[in-house]
Amino acid sequence: MLRPMTENQPNKRHRRKRYAGTHPRRFHERYKELDAAKYPDQVKKIRAQGRTPAGAHVPIMLAEVMAALAPAPGETVLDCTLGHGGHAEALARAIGPQGRAIGIDLDAQEQARTVARLAGLGLTLHAHHTNFAGIGNVLRAEGLAGVDCLLADLGVSSMQLDRPERGFGYKMDGPLDMRMDQSRGKPASELIASTDAETLAGWLRDYGDEPHAERIAEAMAKQKPVRTRELANLVLLANHMDPRRFRQSSARDKHPAARVFQALRMVVNREAENLDALLRALPYALNPGGRAAILTFHSGEEQRVRAALEAAATAGQLVAEDLVGAKPSREEVYGNPRSRSARLFTAKRPAAE
């Protein structure tokens, strides 16, 4: 005999919300792993398949970053690209309550979520909504001459890629926006509409290493896509693929549109120019003996970082510890395919004499 549930009797079973049809179309219905707290088994299943759960940010090369930065209790650490705070969380735990953890992010939406998440874990973060090109202003606002550990993860956050309304990815359809800070600048669709094919091709070559830059750029200039799916299908057609039949054989295979989306994101957010500004300020942002780690995801970023670190080392401002760029382990790439193109560069400022 079933007993009626009283108000004081908790419902220990969590019923999964049901959706119409066997294949829901809405992003938040289709990817239930977005709510990892409610569906931990779904997240584990996806990770075991070598895929990254939608909306989940897995910090890249976390062990290698922590080994390079070696944060000590009481030190000051700066995460220049806060994102979901995976690296920042590990750094904050390492320096303890006597230390100071600072985070910079241009994405106000994700920054607010991250600060709240870390606060829920008992971790304090000094957050600044700005671009890391203004690192000097952040240090002045904190009353600091420099920091002991500095991290810059130049990849886009999974929290952004997996939210179709932000327009960063091609997994689901959404407006072709790509702005980290949606309160300023032009979305990608407007930039495409106002740019000629020759300039578009240059962007795809320089920032995406796209081998078919010219014909994709011509199609973009002609069709002027305003939705992410329009752009992804345009790239597939330019590569002589049928969008209706295209299927990725594995999560570890790069989508043909990945380079194009990357290049446009970098242009929309002026990532190359901002990176150059950060690299110029880097030697002065570190305390004597301070350590820096930079994660790149593109050959253009690698070249910029390597050249800047070499120049700073020649000038005696930094000791470049890894100019080759360490790669993630095979196990990490399998468990998190988005880490496959990551390279880790490290340097330190000489200790004061």
**Would you kindly state where each structural domain of the chain is located, as residue ranges?**
62-158+271-348, 181-268
pLDDT at 218: 97
> What pLDDT digit, counting tens, does each position of 156-184 carry?
776 677 788 888 888 889 999 999 888 88
Which residues are within 8 A (CB) of 24 and not within 5 positions of it... i.e. 6 or more apart? Answer: 30
Strands (E) across 118-237 are located at 126-129, 147-153
Q: For residue 220, which amino acid is it?
A: M
Paired with 291 in beta bridges are 149, 348
What is the Cα 217 distance to its own chain's centre?
25
User: What CATH code would you report for 181-268?
Assistant: 1.10.150.170
Would 62-158+271-348 and 181-268 be classified into the same CATH topology? no
| DSSP 8-state symbol, 253 | S
Beta strands 343-348 and 126-129: pairing type? unpaired
Distance of alpha carbon 166 from alpha carbon 202, whole angstroms: 24
State the CATH architecture for 62-158+271-348. 3-Layer(aba) Sandwich (3.40)
3-class DSSP state for residue 303? Answer: helix
pTM, full prediction: 0.81
> What pLDDT digit, counting tens, does each position of 286-341 carry?
999 999 999 999 888 999 999 999 999 999 999 999 999 999 999 999 888 888 88
Helix, strand, coil abundance in the chain, percent, nearest 5: 45, 15, 40
> What pLDDT digit, counting tens, does each position of 203-224 carry?
999 999 999 999 999 999 999 9
Contact yes or no for 333/293 (Cβ under 8 A): no
